[in-house]
Amino acid sequence: MKKVFIIGGAGKVGRRLAQKLSEQGNQPRSLYRHPEQEEPLRALGAIPVMGSLLELDAQGLAALLSGSDIVVFTAGAGGKGGQDMTRAIDGHGLELAVEAAKLAGIKRFILVSAFPESFRAKGMPESFENYMSVKKLADVYLAETDLDWVILRPGTLLDEPGQGKVRAGLAIPYGDVSRDDVAWTLAEIINRPAISRVIIELTVGNEAISTAVMHMEKP
C-alpha cells in the first residue's frame, strides 16, 4: 500500500485520483481548503488533510506530508484570481511543495502540468500566456531537482467519461483527454517506480492506459 499525498486533492483530477487509488488499495491523503470539501473526499476513500498553499510555509506543509511515500501536485488556480493567483498556486505553490517534500524526506514527486500547444490556435489572452509561462517554469524548477520526479502534460481536459485508452509519449500531437483518464494514468505511474525523471505528454488514443504507461518505463 502506497501513501499518496495529493496537493489539489479537492480539484477535479485530484478527486478522481483519490477514488482510483483507494480502489487499488492505496491510501490517498487529499489536501483541501474549505470545510465543505472534507466529507466528499472521505467518501471517495481519501484521508482529508486541511491546509492552503496560500498560507502554509515549507515547514508547515512538510509536517502535513510526513509519512507519505509520494507527492502528486495537481493544484491550480484554474483561472480564478487573475495572474497573481496563478503565480501563487501554479508557480510558488509548486516550489513550496517541492521544498516541503525534501524536508519530509519524500523523493517521489509527480506533477500535473500543461500541454505546450494548448489552445494555441485560439488567440488566447495575456492571462493564458501567463499561465503557460508559469507552468513551464514550474516544470523547470522540478526537473532541476534531485527528486524522483515525473511531469505529466495532459492535453485539453474534458469531463466526459474516460475510455481507458490514451496516447502517451515524450512528444505527441496535441489533443484532448478526459480527466478520468488523466487520473487513471497518474495511478498507473504511481504503481510503476521505473518511470522516473521523464516528461510525458498525454492525449486520448488507442492504447490501454496500463500499456501506454508501461512503455514509458526505463529499462
- So which residues are the catalytic ones? 131
Cβ contact 2:27 at 8 Å: yes
- Concatenating the DSSP letter of every residue in 146-176 gives SSEEEEEEE-EEE-SPP-SEEEEESS----E
Rounded-to-integer distance, Cα 212 and Cα 167, Å: 7
Which amino acid is present at 80?
K
Rounded-to-integer distance, Cα 17 and Cα 9, Å: 8
Rounded-to-integer distance, Cα 133 and Cα 39, Å: 35
- Cα 202–chain centre separation: 13
